[in-house]
Structures are given as C-alpha cells and as structure tokens.
Amino acid sequence: MDVEPFSLPLSRPLETAAGAIESREGFLVEVTIDGVDGVGEATPLPGWTEPPEVCGRALRDIEQPRTALEGDELADAPAARHGVTLAVLDAAARAAGQPLYRYLGAPEHRESVPVNATVGDGPPAETASAAENAVNEGYPAVKLKVGVRPPAADIDRIEAVRRRCPDVELRVDANGAWSGETALEIVPRLAALGVAVVEQPLSAEELAGHAELRGRGVAIAVDEGLLEHSPRAVLAAEAADILVCKPMALGGIDRARDVVETARAEGIDALVTTTIDGAIARAGAVHLAASVPEIRACGLATAGLLASDIRDGIATVEGGSVPVSQGKGNIPPR
C-alpha cells in the first residue's frame, strides 16, 4: 500500500470548530489487490476526524489493507479508514468491471445525483441574489447558513429568498446555534415560509431537544450530532427526520452506506455530504449517493471550494447535479 500526502488550497479560508483553515491536507492511498489497482483518499478535517498526523501515522502502520478494515485498528482514525476503504472498493469494483455505485449495490443505472447549493451568511438582498443565481443554474435545493444573526434577521433573509425563489426547496443550517427556546419559536415560522429542512438547529449533544422539534412542519436534520452520538443513538432517540452522512467522518463509504440503509429501514431519511474533500473522496461520495435509490439533493457541490484539486473535472456540478462516472471503479484512470 502506498501513501502519498497532498495539500489542496481552498478558494477561501474555511471556518471550522477547530479554527480557520486555508487548505485541505490529506493522503492518497494506493493499493493493488490480486493485480488490480485501487486509489482512495484520506482527508482528515479538524473537529470532524482524527488530526492529519494521526491519520498519516495510522495509514503508514498498515501492513495489509483488507485485514486493517476487518479489525478495529482504524477505530480512532475514520479518515484513514475512509482512504483505505475507498482504495479497496475501487480495486474491487474495477475487478468486477463495474462503476463503483453499481458495485456498492445500486439497483439501477444512475446518470447523476441532485445537489444543493449552499449560501453563506449575508444581508437579505445579497442572500436572495445568491439563491436566485443558484436556482437559475439549475440547483433543485438551496441551503442557507443561519444562526450567525439574531433569529428575526434570519427570518428577513429567508423571506427575501422566498420572494425571489418561490418554488425552490429551501433548507437552513443553524450549525447548532439556537437554544431550544429559540428553535421552538423559529421552526413554525420556517414552516410558514415553506422551509423544508432545518439542519442542526441545536447543539451537537442535544438529542431530546431535536426530538421535540420534529413534527412541526419542517424536517429536522442532524449533522454535527453524529459526531457526539452514534447513528444508532440518534435513531433510538427519534431525534432526526434526516441524517447528514459524511463518509470521511463516518469512517468510509461502506459505513456511511450502512448508516443510510439503517436509517431508511426505520423510516428516517439520509443524505450524503463531503467534508470538502479532494476529487477522489468527492467522487466516492457521489457513487455512494448514486447507490441509494431516490436520494434527496445532497451536499456534494464542493469542488468549487478548492482552488486546486487532485484531478480536474471530477465530480463537478452541471446544472444542479453531479454526473456519476460510468467507467470501472471510482474515477477514470489518468
């Protein structure tokens, strides 16, 4: 197994729970299994996965990739496990002569995966223009960052978007900014504006508070909550209508697919998002989403957040969706 570090500059600095970062540091993982090559990507994100040093060490300690995936030596290194899994699955899909999404179990051919646009914090007019641009580009759903401003100011922003974009699926992401009391006040107002989804309204530890917000006209999505709690615990607490699955944080596209299937078996939906990964992990997340029937718009429109990438033209957005590679494995060989 070969491990090669890379650094991808971001188009603009990204605020994370662990501070602002200006680049994505990760590792390409290359395996050869029964004579077939596979490539994976481990791109740890501070606050969401193990730190880069731990990831690199975990990868370099691996002697046998398939054995490492079966044991729990990568239990504390989800990004490393993601990289190895993707490489092994890529090789296996190539050996089977299938595109990765079919190898993962997609029941049928899938041309593309719908994605949402994400609009950051800004004044109402600016937010509405950004949302309108996204709709004009063909995005079926727009997600607005909220919770930076007071709730009344966010409502003004959402109203401005709704006036300009009467039909688009609107989602808001509070990244845990609201108290239970604030959320109980604001959710009915979101429902009145036709907001379909509110992501992580309360802090990541909260389970009961999220459960209480369900059934009020807006689907409750849990994202950061999956850092604090296992998917099983979130489902058991009935805390979410939708689980936001980040393969890099969950330890691989195989694990993320298990989470999606477990949730759906209990009548809870799931969607897939990247952690602003490079082209290989992003393509893997697209295959994962493509393997799930009738998946709602996913958070996979992240290629543009990188100033340069591992490979250009891979898993990029075209008219509000990301085309699914139909060649063998994850991405076409160079």
Determine the Cα–Cα distance for residues 183 and 177; give it in Å rounded to an integer.
Answer: 9
- In the complex with Mg ion, the residue whose CB is nearer, 90 or 269, is 269
φ/ψ region of 200 (left if φ > 0, alpha if ψ in -120 to 50, else beta) reads: left
What is the contact surface with Mg ion in residues (CB under 5 A)? 173, 199, 223
**Catalytic-residue membership of 328:** no
Cα angle at 43 between 172 and 134, to 5 degrees?
A: 30
Distance from C-alpha of 198 to C-alpha of 229, rounded to nearest angstrom: 19
Residue 302's closest CA among 266, 331, 271, 275? 275
- The full length of the chain comes to 334
Name the residue number minimizing CB distance to Mg ion: 223
Shortest Å, Cβ 175 to Mg ion: 6
154 or 223: whose CB is closer to Mg ion?
Answer: 223
Beta carbon of residue 325, minimum distance to Mg ion (angstroms, whole number): 26
- Rounded to a whole number of angstroms, the minimum distance from the CB of residue 224 to Mg ion is 7
Q: Among this protein's residues, is 246 annotated catalytic?
A: yes
Active-site choice (82, 94, 102, 145): 145
**Mode of pairing for the β-strands spanning 112-114 and 321-323:** antiparallel
Single out the catalytic residue among 246, 257, 282, 328. 246
**Token code pair at residue 188:** 């009915």
* Residue 12 DSSP symbol: E
Q: Binding site: residue ranges?
A: 173, 199, 223
| Spatial contact of 161 and 120, defined as CB atoms under 8 Å apart | no
Residues in the annotated binding site for Mg(2+): 173, 199, 223
Please report how close the Cβ of residue 200 comes to Mg ion at its closest, in angstroms.
6
Nearer to Mg ion, 225 or 252 (CB): 225
**In angstroms, what is the C-alpha Rg of the chain?**
19
- Strand (E) or helix (H) holding 213: helix 208-213
Residue number, 199 or 254, with CB nearest to Mg ion: 199
Instruction: Tokens 């078996």: give the residue.
Output: 265
Q: Whose Cβ is closer to Mg ion: residue 74's or residue 259's?
A: 259
Dump strand ranges (E) for the chain.
2-16, 19-33, 36-42, 112-114, 116-119, 141-145, 169-173, 195-199, 219-222, 242-245, 269-272, 321-323
Q: Give me the residues paired with residue 14 across strands.
A: 21
Quote the least distance from Cβ 12 to Mg ion, whole Å.
Answer: 18
Q: Which residues are tagged catalytic?
A: 145, 246
